[in-house]
């Protein structure tokens, strides 16, 4: 459906997401396509995916992703994903080795961004993106991925 092109900004990427998921109601299908879209069009990333919140266990469980096999369960409040989720705050980590309690799923990952997903104040999970370079993620990524998640959560 899409061929690899250079994405100049998140406006174009977010428009692509809208077109891809607007008529689909299946949560897993939309999360899968969203992970694939980000993996295809973001440069210098080595893992893109979602962890979904399981209230009964109070943990995040691996959902659709692109990249090497990953940690399956992350306790709420632990690691970058669990900490960002618990505080409902976007985390940009320039050097994952400097983050207290970082959970290393892939030794090649050097930096990370985590965007919590809440729909109508209900916890859904997180978007997690890792990069094989330090200081990969910027304020532009924070804003663009926040909008990406806002579009996505209407369809999950």
Q: What is the pLDDT of residues 113-132, one digit of tens each?
A: 999 999 999 999 999 999 99
Does residue 140 register a pLDDT over 50? yes
Residue 5 lies inside a defined structural domain of this protein: no
pLDDT at position 7 over 60? no
Domain harbouring 123, CATH code: 3.30.450.40
CA–CA distance, 81 with 45 (Å, rounded to integer): 16
Instruction: Tell me whether residue 20 is in a domain.
Output: yes
95 within domain boundaries? yes
Asked if residue 2 belongs to a domain, the reply is no
Share of the chain above pLDDT 70, in %: 95
Is 84 inside a domain boundary? yes
Q: Is 42 left (phi over 0), alpha (psi -120 to 50) or beta?
A: beta
Give the chain's mean pLDDT. Answer: 93
Is 108 within a domain?
Answer: yes
Return the structure tokens found at 69.
């096999």
Cα separation, 8 vs 55, in Å, equals 38
Q: How many domains does the chain have?
A: 1
Pairwise CA distance, residues 20 & 119, whole Å:
20
Phi-psi region of 105 (alpha: psi -120 to 50; beta: other; left: phi over 0): alpha
Distance CA 3, CA 5 (A): 6
Phi and psi torsions of 90, nearest 5°: -70, 130
Position 3 in a domain: no
Residue 79 belongs to some domain of the structure: yes
Helix (H) or strand (E) holding 151: helix 139-152
Please report the pLDDT score of residue 1 as a whole number: 45
- Yes or no: say if 138 and 10 are a contact pair by the CB < 8 Å rule: no
Residue 8: the pLDDT is 57
Residue partners of 32: CB distance under 8 A and separation at least 6: 64
**70: how many CB neighbours lie within 10 A of its CB?**
17
Q: What is the extent of the structural domain holding 50?
A: 10-153
20-77: pLDDT as tens digits: 999 999 999 999 999 999 999 999 999 999 999 999 999 999 999 999 999 999 999 9
User: Does residue 79 surpass a pLDDT of 90?
Assistant: yes
């Amino acid at each position: 459906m899409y061929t690899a092109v250079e994405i100049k900004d998140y406006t174009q990427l977010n428009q692509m997401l809208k077109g891809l998921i607007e008529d689909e109601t299946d949560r897993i299908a939309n999360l899968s396509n969203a992970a694939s879209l980000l993996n295809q069009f973001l440069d210098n990333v080595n893992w893109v995916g979602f962890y979904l919140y399981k209230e009964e266990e109070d943990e995040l469980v691996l959902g659709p992703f692109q990249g090497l096999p990953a940690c399956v369960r992350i306790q709420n409040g632990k690691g970058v994903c669990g900490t960002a989720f618990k505080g409902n705050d976007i985390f940009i980590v320039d050097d994952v080795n400097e983050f207290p309690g970082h959970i290393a799923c892939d030794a090649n990952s050097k930096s990370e961004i985590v965007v919590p997903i809440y729909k109508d104040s209900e916890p859904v999970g997180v978007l997690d993106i890792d990069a094989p370079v330090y200081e990969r993620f910027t304020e532009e990524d924070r804003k663009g991925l926040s909008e990406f998640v806002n579009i996505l959560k209407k369809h999950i």
